[in-house]
Structure 1
Amino acid sequence: MNRRRWTGIAASVTAGALLLSACGGDTDGPGDGGLQGTDQASQGSWAINEKPYAEVKQGGELKWPLDALPDNWNYNQLNGPLVDHDYILSSIIPKLHKADKAGKIVINKDYLESAELTSPDPQVVTYKLNPAAKWSDGTAFSWEDFDAQFKALNGTNKEYSVSGTTGYEDIEKVEKGAADNEVVVTFKNKFAEWTSLFSPLYPKSLNSDVKNFNEGWATEPKVTAGPFKIETIDQTAKLVSVVPDANWWGQKPKLDKITFRVVERAALADSLASGAIDWYTIGSSVDNFQRAKGMPGIEVREAPGKSYNHLTFNGAPSSILADQKLRVAVTKALDPAVYAKGILGPIVADAKPLGNHFFLQGTAAYVDNSAPVKADKEAAKTELDGLGWKLEGEFRKKDGKQLDIRLVSTAGNPISEQIGKLTQAQLKEVGVNVVIDAQPSATFFSDFVNTGNFDMVGFGWSQTPWPISSSKGIYYLNPDSVNQNFGRIGSDEINKLLDEANAELDDAKRTELTNQADKLIWEAGHHLPLYQVPGARATRATLVNFGAFGVADPDYTAMGFAG
């Protein structure tokens, strides 16, 4: 299961689930002074100053900026799937499948010899492990690692605080195959995007114990199995460094070290100019885009973006937005085009809002399903009146209570601040008072997003190569598990369509079912996508095999500096 990653409105989330990030997200480079829009022709491209492995200089330190350090090094735990976390984990923890530059899913030969659908009905997948693959404690990879992860993430034991159960809940059993390096996974329900499972893969020692799963990796990873290993975790200096693992059996890394360091968004350009970091994501920041273009020795590398910024609404009983009709009325007062043009206008020509929760613009499956909440301030006013929220002076009141909506955002994040101000101004026009509550990026997700401590919250979702299964946990309403449905909004009908889509092996039918679910998600007032974030990065010109990766997974062993 690859959750979506998140990003604070400039952060981000990821796999089994979508990745999160604070608002800003990933973006890519210039065309005629601005970034090119994402379209079908732009898919399957990257801009990484690509060089053969043999031509990359041996040695050097790559200085990598983060929004925040991981809240939990177990990526499958509720606090785990952040984009920044994924950046680090991809260098030290196994991913069994990865996406190439065209977005095609391929097996990772460092960990697998093969992974095949050996029976369609019942669905059976057989994995053959690379015999050389070993955990850092010397233990060989085993079918027991798969079995323990399946049991931890399938949702049957509610004590496991998981970020998602998608895919694992459809497995019946995991068994040892005909050889020691063979794993046989049998499904009780069909699961189309099965290549998303066991990426990342964790050792049996993590998943077999509830307390260890939830808390044991909160401060550091206990076991690794990647080209790099942890050198330092410094919570005071807000940095993590990784160095090559001498026991790595695959292609050896070219870099001597990668240092991941927390840098405030407002300080990115100055940090790059001073040499404190070697790149940054431009995201939605006009200032960072313009600064990068004028910086000596820096290139803006452009590829399609795979994240979007949005506003999530809280439908829990404790929130003012628990009423679906109120959520929809408020949504109609917010025009995504105002955000897209106001924030991206100087960067992207003809920036457009995003009209789908699952599929990004420029992909074949994309359809604009946003009609149920089409921006219409007059309709919003009429609906608010009908709900009893009458204008009294500057703002609306009902039964003596003012219509105040608390918008939680990331402090010190220019894009978050811009989104907050645009939201506040638009809702004021219809008599709704938005109270902006800016919180530090270090606790933004763990203390506010994950716990439902908001009425409205802004952050970014980063798409994985598995757009349907990775999104299920965001929209599936399960009273026993929040997963990534932080606003607790959904319905049995949405659940049913998502179950059917994830079990449908026919691509066209699976897409149709997903778009049916998407229409209902818009009607429910779940969250409001604002715009797709451009994919450009400001990168030191001497960096090779690094930059704007588009839909691809980076090769950490090949990245480095020009010889």
Structure 2
Amino acid sequence: MSHVGVGPRAITRAVAFLTAGALAVTALAGCTSEDDSGKPLAGQDIAAAARSRVADGGTLRWAVDSVPETLNTFQSDADATSSRVAQAVLPSMYRMDARGRPVRNPDYLESAEVVDTEPKQVVVYRLHQEAVWSDGREIGAADFAAQWRALSGRDSAYWTARNAGYDRIEKIERGAGDLEVKVTFSRRYADWKSLFTPLYPKDVMGTPDSFNDGARRRLKVTAGPFAVEKVDTKKDEIVLARNPRWWGRPAKLNEIVLRAVPRDKRASELAAGRLDLAEIDPDTAEEVALAAGPRDTAPSSGAPLMGPEDRQSAADALRSWAVANGSDEEAAEKEAQAREKRRKAVARAQRREQALRGFEVRRSLEPAYTQLALNGADGPLADERVRRAVARTLDRRELAELVLKPLGLPAEPVGSHLALAGQPVYADSSGALGGPDTKEARALLADAGWVPGGPVEQPEKGEKAAGSEGDKREGGKDGEDGEKSPGGDDGTYIVGEDDKDDQGKNDKDTHDKDTHGKNDDGKNDEQGRSDQESGEKRAGGKNTAQGGSAPGAYAPKGTAAPAGSAVAPPAKDGKALTLRFVLPSGPGSGVLRTVADRISGMLDAVGIRTEITKVSDASYFKDHIASGQYDLALYSWPASAFPATDARPIYAKPVPAADGSLNIAQNYTRVGTDQVDQLFDQALTTLDEEEARDLLRKADSRIWAQAGSIPLYQRPQLVAARTNLANAGAFAFETPVYEDMGFLKKGAQGARPPVSPSS
């Protein structure tokens, strides 16, 4: 799922889908230069075009993951489509620019500034003089005040998902005139620009009933270039129509139809002409790209995409013809039927290719990153030394290249938990943990009491080994030595030292070829059936490869391993070091599983075994990540323009609740320290942007040192768009400008920026 929020801020930093330890932080980010933030690794790819080249009218049919349960983005069941609707129909005081920074939205806000800091922080907003709601009422202080009261957390009758920032407001008043809003804070708040984006009318925020229920399936009053015309649950779509009361540049499109389409159905819907814009998986992107031909050149020459007939060799084709025209009537009839079936399949492939020639793939990097999460609540990973050992086995650059290089996207590992390259807070603080070093990893394990080749207690006959639930086999024909077993969709298998060659070096070429992906956290945004199947084979399924030279093939049972290939597994208190690696099993999570296989191979270099368990997408986050039923997991976080506010609950130290439970907020790794909390709190209260940046970079260094989560790579974004659709596609950091989207006038050309670092 996508987690890119409205304007400059994520609606909630939730997925899709306890101690500092003995090792001191060796490096802290203390540089005050913004140069450390670098440039965005990839810019927008939206076929940008001047409005004069865009035709008036038309309907944009845009695929989304779901029709949301609510249009109120401040409720817990809001999703990415809720945010997309809000961006098009509601006021936003600030937007996100090309570097992931908040910038004033001039359509709503003429100015906003801190006018006082003593004794209280006071911000004065001066609204656009033409800004009105769709019912004709001016946008003003009453709307700001209603939203503050609803989100302040003081009235539990409002079912809010968050109140960060609003809980620091003391009062809201009308300023010198109707267009001024004066906000007084009870405590200093550095991220005040995060507030009132989106801004809902007082009709929605004014009472608990209207907040809880009034904006779930409709928004009667709006104030954007578009308005919500209808939410059609039968057709699974939301229709946004041009707002006649919009005072800004008029929308080029008449309508935007957001239609829920499963990702594995989007290629067919594109080919059928029922979509104009859709985020797609790598396999669909390859199909669209092949049909379209090289970018900025003529479409493909007319050769059809590879179909059943194309996969026949010349000898097979000749043999087929001979059988179909031979004297054996029964064989001839069967072959003729098979040839006709292949002919129809080729014809379908040709028609599909022809239909897809009107599309192109627009690609960039999402403002979100995938991480490896290490659950520090209990088990081996409760020891920071073990977490650090795991982290020191990872080659993060190799993992980034595994996912991004096949897509032609910059393959740089992410160096911060709190920002992405190009954002002001970004600095590569991974040096606080250190790079890949198996020697150091082994030393850390030894220091934690994990002895290489130490004695391991064998379970008594009939006793289940740890983690043997589900489809895992601990012996017998299927499981062999208990380390390789078939893994169905909700299965488990163990990757150990015997899998080293397969999981590590030998599969590298295969992974590089098969992984084109985008994933993430249960977002289901890439196809990976072939990766999943190959992963299951490597994990102990039947090996169908012929001969011993196939990458990933197993030697016959009993064959001696190459000298030096086996690594004695570390053991402690009679138990080998085995970590539960939980992954989603859906067809859109193939890249996650491929990345997990590669990580398992890296861990095996120091003898750490991984017990890989695949679970349904629906239960992955709720039943495993949020509830702490895992050791290792892969999921994503969005980048935020306001990390002091949005990242604090992700890395805050868990605290005991009144009922005896542990309040973890959004810290699903359960790893945190008082020192990190203090740095976040200081950054939240300083109005000096440079000081806040340095404090957050220090916090990030300490988060790296804790090794609770290891950022891996920025997520790719692949979008299929009609070639004549302008100002829409892979948006990267920037907030979409809905009023500029539309179809080019006949003969007009869009100006597409390259996918490269932007200024």
Question: Normalising by the residue count of structure 1, what TM-score does the alignment of the two structures yield?
Answer: 0.80
In the alignment, which of 686, 692, 696 is matched to residue 504 of structure 1?
686
Matches within 5 A, 1:68-467: 68-80=66-78, 82-101=79-98, 105-121=102-118, 122-130=120-128, 132-135=130-133, 140-156=138-154, 162-207=160-205, 209=207, 213=211, 217=215, 221=219, 223-235=221-233, 237-281=235-279, 286-295=282-291, 296-302=357-363, 305-316=366-377, 324-348=384-408, 351-363=411-423, 365-371=425-431, 372=433, 374-381=435-442, 383-384=444-445, 387=448, 392=456, 394=483, 403-409=578-584, 411-413=586-588, 414-427=590-603, 430-440=607-617, 455-467=631-643
Residue 124 of structure 1 deviates from its aligned partner by: 1.3
The yes-or-no answer on 1:67 pairing with 2:65 is: yes
Residue 494 of structure 1 deviates from its aligned partner by: 0.9
- How many equivalent residue pairs? 534
Give the aligned residue type for 1:337: R
Give the aligned residue type for 2:371: H
Query: Is the 8 Å Cα contact of residues 363 and 717 (structure 2) preserved in structure 1?
Result: yes
Query: Is the 8 Å Cα contact of residues 101 and 423 (structure 2) preserved in structure 1?
Result: no
What secondary structure, in the 3-state scheme, does the structure 1 residue paired with 2:89 have? Answer: coil
Match for residue 55 of structure 1? 53
Question: 1:434–1:230: structure 2 CA closer, same or farther, 3 Å change rule?
Answer: farther
Residue 542 of structure 1 deviates from its aligned partner by: 0.5
Question: 1:558–1:186: structure 2 CA closer, same or farther, 3 Å change rule?
Answer: same
Match for residue 29 of structure 1? none
Partners in 1 of 2:221 and 2:646 — Cα distance?
25
Q: Any unmatched runs of 5+ in structure 2?
A: 18-36, 292-356, 457-481, 484-495, 497-569, 658-662, 746-759
What secondary structure, in the 3-state scheme, does the structure 1 residue paired with 2:72 have? Answer: coil
After superposition, what is the alpha-carbon deviation per residue over 1:154-206, rounded to whole angstroms, capped at 9, x for unaligned?
Answer: 45556766544443343332222233332111123333332221111123454
Question: 1:152–1:245: structure 2 CA closer, same or farther, 3 Å change rule?
Answer: same
Question: 1:101–1:376: structure 2 CA closer, same or farther, 3 Å change rule?
Answer: closer
Question: 1:41–1:381: structure 2 CA closer, same or farther, 3 Å change rule?
Answer: closer
Residue 446 of structure 1 deviates from its aligned partner by: 6.5
In the alignment, which of 713, 720, 726 is matched to residue 544 of structure 1?
726
Question: 1:236–1:377: structure 2 CA closer, same or farther, 3 Å change rule?
Answer: farther
Partners in 1 of 2:117 and 2:48 — Cα distance?
39
Partners in 2 of 1:321 and 1:160 — Cα distance?
39
Partners in 2 of 1:183 and 1:110 — Cα distance?
16
Partners in 1 of 2:208 and 2:602 — Cα distance?
46
Question: 1:147–1:338: structure 2 CA closer, same or farther, 3 Å change rule?
Answer: same
Partners in 1 of 2:74 and 2:211 — Cα distance?
9
Residue 510 of structure 1 deviates from its aligned partner by: 1.8
Question: 1:123–1:458: structure 2 CA closer, same or farther, 3 Å change rule?
Answer: same
Partners in 2 of 1:485 and 1:204 — Cα distance?
33
Partners in 1 of 2:211 and 2:624 — Cα distance?
22
After superposition, what is the alpha-carbon deviation per residue over 1:204-260, rounded to whole angstroms, capped at 9, x for unaligned?
Answer: 454455576566655555654332233443446543332223444443322222222
After superposition, what is the alpha-carbon deviation per residue over 1:428-465, rounded to whole angstroms, capped at 9, x for unaligned?
Answer: 55333333334346x76667666666554433333244
Match for residue 471 of structure 1? 647
Residue 150 of structure 1 deviates from its aligned partner by: 2.7
Give the aligned residue type for 2:650: I
Query: Is the 8 Å Cα contact of residues 226 and 242 (structure 2) preserved in structure 1?
Result: yes
Partners in 2 of 1:361 and 1:64 — Cα distance?
29
Residue 69 of structure 1 deviates from its aligned partner by: 3.8
What secondary structure, in the 3-state scheme, does the structure 1 residue paired with 2:739 have? Answer: coil
Residue 546 of structure 1 deviates from its aligned partner by: 1.7
In the alignment, which of 703, 711, 718 is matched to residue 521 of structure 1?
703
Larger Rg: 2
Partners in 1 of 2:209 and 2:595 — Cα distance?
39
Q: Any unmatched runs of 5+ in structure 1?
A: 1-7, 24-38
What secondary structure, in the 3-state scheme, does the structure 2 residue paired with 1:98 have? Answer: strand
Query: Is the 8 Å Cα contact of residues 13 and 460 (structure 1) preserved in structure 2?
Result: no
Query: Is the 8 Å Cα contact of residues 279 and 539 (structure 1) preserved in structure 2?
Result: yes
What secondary structure, in the 3-state scheme, does the structure 1 residue paired with 2:740 have? Answer: coil
Query: Is the 8 Å Cα contact of residues 41 and 410 (structure 2) preserved in structure 1?
Result: no
Identity of aligned residues (%): 33
Question: 1:20–1:240: structure 2 CA closer, same or farther, 3 Å change rule?
Answer: farther
Question: 1:437–1:460: structure 2 CA closer, same or farther, 3 Å change rule?
Answer: same
Query: Is the 8 Å Cα contact of residues 146 and 201 (structure 1) preserved in structure 2?
Result: yes
Question: 1:102–1:359: structure 2 CA closer, same or farther, 3 Å change rule?
Answer: closer
What secondary structure, in the 3-state scheme, does the structure 2 residue paired with 1:190 have? Answer: coil
Partners in 2 of 1:57 and 1:256 — Cα distance?
11
Question: 1:50–1:181: structure 2 CA closer, same or farther, 3 Å change rule?
Answer: same
Identify the structure with the greater strand proportion.
1
Match for residue 738 of structure 2? 556
Query: Is the 8 Å Cα contact of residues 44 and 551 (structure 1) preserved in structure 2?
Result: no
Residue 351 of structure 1 deviates from its aligned partner by: 1.8
Partners in 1 of 2:65 and 2:628 — Cα distance?
21
Residue 132 of structure 1 deviates from its aligned partner by: 4.6
Partners in 1 of 2:279 and 2:4 — Cα distance?
15
Question: 1:249–1:478: structure 2 CA closer, same or farther, 3 Å change rule?
Answer: farther
Query: Is the 8 Å Cα contact of residues 332 and 380 (structure 1) preserved in structure 2?
Result: yes
Query: Is the 8 Å Cα contact of residues 654 and 664 (structure 2) preserved in structure 1?
Result: yes
Partners in 2 of 1:255 and 1:193 — Cα distance?
34
The yes-or-no answer on 1:493 pairing with 2:675 is: yes
Query: Is the 8 Å Cα contact of residues 354 and 532 (structure 1) preserved in structure 2?
Result: yes
Deviates more, 1:381-390 or 1:528-537: 381-390
What secondary structure, in the 3-state scheme, does the structure 1 residue paired with 2:436 have? Answer: coil
Question: 1:556–1:445: structure 2 CA closer, same or farther, 3 Å change rule?
Answer: farther
Question: 1:213–1:462: structure 2 CA closer, same or farther, 3 Å change rule?
Answer: same
